[in-house]
Amino acid sequence: MKAIVSSLVTALAALALGGCVAGDAMSVAPSPLAPTRPAPEMAGILAPLQGGLVGRMAELGMDDAARLQALQTEYRALEYTAPGDIASWQGQGGRVAGQVVPSQPYRVGSQDCRQFTHTITAGTEEVVERGTACRNADGSWALLS
């Protein structure tokens, strides 16, 4: 009996920690209470992204909450996601979703930079944007292209 309980505890711990493994895709669950503006502490970090790649995808008609989720996911992908892994998000009641895939970081002078791809699916339409961002001295990421 003790071995079964121990195995169960180990299995549950592995499931709970599974999202912490660097190789796993990061998922951002939609929230019915998702803010339409970033929290004050996030606003300063997101501003240098200048709307991010998602800002170039106006034709998808995303609401402000979905656009904010997408921009926050771009930041998290640049900051925390391993090269080639997926940071995903979903908004507007599941009608729109996206995936951000960063590449290997590289240095330009004293700045860390990363190329990344953001794919957004809205209904049957899929839009892919590619860009490059570099880290500022304050830790924020600025979109270059």
At 98-130, the pLDDT tens digits run: 999 999 999 999 899 999 999 999 988 899 999
pLDDT of residue 106: 96
d(CA 139, CA 18): 27
Q: Which pLDDT value is given to residue 1?
A: 39
Low-confidence ranges of the chain (pLDDT < 70): 1-50
Residue 41 has a pLDDT of 47
Q: So what's the pLDDT on residue 27?
A: 37
What is the SS3 assignment for 51? Answer: coil
Dihedral sign of CA atoms 51, 53, 59, 61 in order: negative
- For 96, counting Cβ atoms within 10 Å of its Cβ (0-12 exposed, 13-18 middle, 19+ buried), the class is buried
